[in-house]
């Protein structure tokens, strides 16, 4: 990474810090997960608030993937509760997660390489003019394209042509498309899993800007990364997992790179 790249000073931060008194979007209490005899998570408490970027950190095997897969409806918790809008919910599938406003951008992005941008936005949710039996009658292609253009414009994302297939876009453009797709479906919570991995420096910066932009629009963001510069640049608050437990929860402004690394390693747990 170039020595003059300093994302922590280059990106806009919120005008006011998120407060514990602010409304909670998702409230997680006592969440545990067993896979046979292996306990992946133990008694995790976590609040996620609108308009913040929450960094979820931990070494490999710390439980990050298990936690986000539970929130995304891929895994079911062994015990514990998840509440949203003041009511307990059971996120039994990704479809239920979507209905609650949870959109997850995994590392593989879940984009179809040989399809253009617009169809990738609407996979399984295509706009149509009615049905013949259980089959879509006619795709509303112009409406879908206009919809995508508006979403990309809203997020200041520039794609050379919506007719390009995904495999002809750069890594950063693909990541931006995946994030924009999540916003198109009115996400309340966007989970970003290692979003800057393998991207060039300019593309990394754009992804960090997108994360901050989502927060500025009142969307909650869970940002998972091993990149400490990303952490310091974009997050408001950090939750650090170690061997399935919550090792620490701290506001980013109250910590530093050295302490974060120590907490990830299980030293000085708060």
**Per-residue pLDDT band at 230 (split at 50, 70, 90):** very high
Strand partners, 56: 224, 239
Mean pLDDT over all residues of the chain? 88
SS3 category, 184: helix
**Mind listing the pLDDT tens digit for each residue in 123-160?**
877 766 676 666 656 677 888 899 999 999 988 899 99
Give SS3 for 97. helix
- Mention every residue, 6+ apart, whose C-beta is less than 8 A from residue 208: 7, 11, 196, 230, 233, 234
Please tell me the predicted confidence (pLDDT) of residue 5. 39
Return the ∠ at Cα 26 (arms to 263 and 77), rounded to 5°.
75
Tell me which residue has tokens 């070494």.
59
What's the average model confidence in pLDDT over 174-194? 92
Domain ranges of the chain: 23-264
Lowest mean pLDDT among 7-11, 176-180, 255-259: 7-11
- Per-residue confidence band for 268, with pLDDT thresholds at 50, 70 and 90: low
Mean pLDDT of 151-180: 92
263 three-class SS: helix
Instruction: Give the CATH number of domain 23-264.
Output: 3.40.50.300
Q: Which of 86 and 4 is assigned the larger pLDDT?
A: 86
Q: In the predicted model, is pLDDT for residue 3 greater than 70?
A: no
């Amino acid at each position: 990474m170039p020595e003059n790249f300093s994302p922590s000073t280059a990106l806009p931060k919120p005008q006011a810090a998120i407060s514990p008194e602010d409304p909670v979007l998702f409230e997680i209490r006592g969440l545990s997960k067993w896979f046979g005899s292996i306990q992946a998570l133990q008694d995790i408490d976590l609040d996620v608030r609108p308009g913040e970027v929450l960094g979820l950190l931990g070494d490999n095997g710390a439980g990050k993937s298990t936690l986000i897969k539970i929130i995304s409806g891929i895994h079911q918790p062994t015990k514990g509760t998840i509440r949203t809008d003041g009511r307990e919910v059971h996120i039994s599938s990704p479809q239920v997660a979507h209905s609650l406003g949870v959109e997850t951008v995994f590392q593989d992005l879940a984009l179809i390489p040989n399809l253009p941008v617009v169809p990738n936005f609407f996979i399984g949710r295509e706009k149509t003019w009615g049905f013949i039996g259980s089959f879509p009658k006619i795709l509303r292609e112009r409406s879908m394209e206009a919809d995508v253009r508006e979403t990309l414009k809203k997020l200041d994302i520039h794609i050379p042509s919506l007719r390009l297939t995904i495999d002809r876009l750069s890594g950063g453009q693909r990541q931006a498309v995946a994030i924009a797709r999540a916003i198109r479906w009115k996400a309340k919570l966007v989970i970003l899993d290692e979003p800057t991995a393998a991207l060039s420096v300019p593309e990394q910066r754009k992804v960090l800007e997108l994360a901050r932009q989502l927060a500025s629009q009142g969307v909650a963001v869970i940002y998972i990364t091993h990149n400490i510069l990303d952490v310091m640049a974009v997050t408001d608050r950090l939750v650090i997992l170690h061997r399935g437990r919550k090792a620490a929860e701290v506001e980013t402004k109250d910590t530093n790179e050295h302490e974060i690394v120590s907490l990830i390693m299980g030293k000085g747990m708060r």
